[in-house]
């Protein structure tokens, strides 16, 4: 017959178990208590995920380090040398000159600084004209081909995008034939009684030509306030004369070839705007211009920043069109920092100065991109304080 283990009840009749007050502990001590459930540490999980993440991206990090970061560091070292490209720059045979390459370009009077200032002036006008023109043209084309009732939208998109996928060398060669002294452009201008210039051989600035034509400024005798003062080896009149006629042809080429790419970017953003916003604005009485101003453009702010940034970077790095069409001529009025860096390194065998020009150009691009981001950032609405 099995023996049943019972305990005495307390005065209140409640059964008492081992471990309760007043009940003796059984021999051998109390039984093992149930261990609480251990929760995994969130930090340990994050560490594991971080390790696996680094493991998966390590091939790309290695590729970027070998083909991007390492060459940049090598070029930075070369910019501190006087190196002709014939020996190993890391063997100690090249002369270490420190910041002399940068001083010769920025602070010391001489031909190097004058050429660099000329290239900066030319490229600055190139940026100021190309970026707004290509952005406005790309947005206009995107608005046109985004019309739902437009027939042949696919054909128009292909036509507008075709110059962007064409070889820049081929397009530059075609422009050389179009803008010759007896080319097609001057022939068309002669039909309306306009004598076209010799485009690629005219070093005169278009702004100075305009002021001379209006009788404001004599280009042969510029005002002393502009001719006697200089910055980086160039007079104020040279800085303010505007892009040359030859540079204007390169600007037209750049606008024509890049607008198609930016049109596709704008078109994708336009198709992502909800139709309800435009329909609500139309119901409230807004016309096409009102919808464009209050609905479309605010929705395109991030894409607009992207297009302007890409255009800014691309225009400061212009090289192939200059190399094919002018190589800096006439009179260095189409010279750009990118082409000057190339000619200094491979033409004059001064790779240190060429690398220094490249890093100054990089710093300039970063500064202008930061300024552009500051201007186009979204501002919080102002709140009025109740007095």
Burial of 87 (0-12, 13-18, 19+ CB in 10 A): exposed
Count CA atoms closer than 13 A to 13's CA, side-chain side: 0
Full 3-state SS string of 175-227: HHHHCCCCCHHHHHHHHCCCCCCCHHHCCCEHHHHHHHHCCCCECCECCHHHH
Question: Measuring CA to CA, which residue among 233, 273, 257, 232 is closest to residue 325?
Answer: 257
**Dihedral of the alpha carbons of 77, 83, 87, 90, in degrees to the nearest 10:** -20
Full 3-state SS string of the chain: CCCCCCCCECCCCCECCCCCCCCCCCCCCCCCCCCCCCCCCHHHHHHHHHHHHHHHHHHHHHHHHHHHHHHHHHHHHHCCEECCCCCCCCCCCCEECCCHHHHHHHCCCCHHHHHHHHHHHHHHHHHHHHHHHHHHHHHHHHHHHCCCCCCCHHHHHHHHHHHHHCCHHHHHHHHHHHCCCCCHHHHHHHHCCCCCCCHHHCCCEHHHHHHHHCCCCECCECCHHHHCCEECCEEHHHHCCCCEHHHHHHHHHHHHHHHHHHHHHHHHHHHCCCHHHHHHHHHCCCCHHHHHHHHHHHHCHHHHHHHHHHHHHHHHCCCHHHHHHCCCCCCCCCCCHHHHHHHHHHHCCCHHHHHHHHHHHHHHHHHHHHHHHHHHCCCCCCCCCCC
pLDDT band at 147 (very low <50, low <70, confident <90, very high): confident
CB 357 within 8 A of CB 123: no
Say which range, 29-43, 64-78, 263-277, has the weakest mean pLDDT: 29-43
Candidate ranges 36-50, 106-120, 214-228; pick with highest mean pLDDT: 106-120
- 85-105: pLDDT as tens digits: 888 888 877 889 999 999 999
Distance separating alpha carbons of residues 198 and 182, to the nearest angstrom: 8
User: What are the residues facing 230 on neighbouring strands?
Assistant: 235
Distance separating alpha carbons of residues 184 and 196, to the nearest angstrom: 10
Tell me what the pLDDT averaged over the chain comes to.
84
- 5-63: pLDDT as tens digits: 444 444 444 445 444 455 455 555 555 555 555 565 556 556 677 888 888 999 999 99
Distance separating alpha carbons of residues 316 and 310, to the nearest angstrom: 10
Is the pLDDT at 384 greater than 50? The verdict is: yes
Record the tokens describing residue 148, joined without a space. Answer: 């739902």
Distance separating alpha carbons of residues 103 and 76, to the nearest angstrom: 15
pLDDT at 74: 92
pLDDT band at 245 (very low <50, low <70, confident <90, very high): very high
Distance separating alpha carbons of residues 171 and 55, to the nearest angstrom: 45
Record the tokens describing residue 166, joined without a space. Answer: 């064409």
């Amino acid at each position: 017959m099995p023996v049943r283990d019972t305990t005495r009840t307390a005065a209140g009749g409640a059964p008492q178990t081992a471990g309760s007050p007043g009940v003796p502990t059984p021999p051998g001590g109390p039984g093992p208590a149930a261990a609480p459930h251990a929760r995994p540490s969130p930090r340990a999980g994050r560490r594991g995920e971080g390790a696996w993440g680094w493991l998966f991206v390590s091939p790309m990090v290695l590729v970027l380090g070998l083909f991007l970061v390492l060459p940049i560091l090598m070029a930075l070292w070369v910019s501190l040398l006087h190196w002709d490209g014939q020996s190993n720059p890391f063997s100690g045979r090249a002369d270490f000159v420190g910041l002399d390459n940068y001083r010769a370009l920025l602070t010391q009077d001489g031909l190097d600084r004058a050429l660099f200032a000329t290239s900066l002036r030319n490229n600055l006008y190139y940026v100021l004209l190309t970026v707004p023109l290509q952005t406005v043209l790309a947005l206009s084309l995107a608005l046109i081909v985004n019309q739902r009732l437009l027939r042949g939208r696919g054909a128009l998109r292909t036509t507008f995008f075709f110059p962007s996928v064409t070889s820049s060398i081929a397009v530059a060669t075609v422009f050389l034939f179009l803008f010759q002294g007896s080319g097609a452009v001057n022939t068309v201008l002669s039909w309306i009684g306009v004598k076209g210039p010799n485009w690629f051989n005219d070093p005169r600035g278009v702004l100075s030509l305009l002021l001379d034509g209006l009788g404001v400024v004599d280009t042969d005798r510029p005002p002393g306030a502009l001719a006697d003062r200089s910055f980086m080896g160039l007079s104020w009149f040279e800085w303010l004369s505007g892009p040359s006629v030859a540079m204007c042809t390169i600007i037209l080429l750049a606008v024509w070839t890049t607008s198609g790419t930016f049109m596709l970017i704008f078109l994708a953003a336009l198709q992502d705007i909800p139709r309800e916003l435009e329909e609500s604005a139309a119901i409230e009485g807004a016309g096409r211009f009102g919808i464009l101003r209050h609905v479309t453009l605010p929705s395109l702010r991030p894409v607009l920043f992207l297009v302007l940034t890409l255009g800014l970077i691309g225009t400061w790095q212009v090289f192939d069109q200059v190399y094919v069409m002018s190589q800096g001529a006439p009179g260095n009025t189409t010279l750009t920092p990118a082409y000057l860096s190339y000619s200094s390194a491979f033409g004059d065998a001064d790779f240190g100065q060429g690398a220094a020009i490249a890093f100054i150009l990089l710093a300039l691009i970063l500064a202008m991109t930061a300024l552009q981001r500051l201007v186009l950032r979204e501002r919080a609405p102002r709140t009025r304080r109740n007095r």
